Amino acid sequence: MSERTSQSALRERFESIAEDRTLQDWVIDLGPFALLAVLMVGFSIASPVFLTFSNLVDNVLRNSTILLLVSLAGTFPILQQSIDLSIESMVGITGVIAAILVSDHQFGALALLAAVLAGTVLGALNGIVFAKFKIPSFLVTLGSLSILSGTALLMTGGTSVPYRNPGVRQIATGHVIPGVPNLVVWGLLVYGAMVFVAFKTPFGRYCYALGENENVADLSGVDVDRYKIGAFVVSGLLCGTAGALLTARTASAAPGMGSGLLLQSIAAIVMGGTALTGGVGGPHRTLLGVLVIGVLANGMNLVGIQSFVQDIVLGFVVIIAVAMSMDRRKIDIVK
Q: Which CATH architecture best describes the domain 3-10+24-36+47-326?
A: Orthogonal Bundle (1.10)
Q: Could you read off the pLDDT tens digit of each residue along the chain, which spans 335 residues?
A: 455 555 565 555 555 544 555 666 666 677 788 888 989 999 999 999 999 999 999 999 999 999 999 999 999 999 999 999 999 999 999 999 999 999 999 899 999 999 999 999 999 999 999 999 999 999 999 999 999 999 999 999 999 999 999 999 999 999 999 989 999 999 999 999 999 999 999 999 999 999 988 998 888 889 999 999 999 999 999 999 999 999 999 999 999 999 999 989 998 998 888 888 888 889 999 999 999 999 999 999 999 988 889 888 888 877 777 676 665 555 554 44
Report pLDDT for 23.
Answer: 60
Amino acid, res. 117: L
Say how far residue 314 (Cα) sits from the centre of its chain: 16
Contacts of 19 (CB under 8 A, 6+ apart): none
Q: Are 130 and 74 in contact (CB under 8 A)?
A: no
Burial 242-254 (b: 16+ CB within 10 A, else e): bbbbbbbbbbbbb
Say how far residue 315 (Cα) sits from the centre of its chain: 18
Residue 180 phi/psi, 5-degree rounding, is -120, 120
Report pLDDT for 334.
Answer: 47
Model pTM? 0.90
β-bridge partners, 253: 161
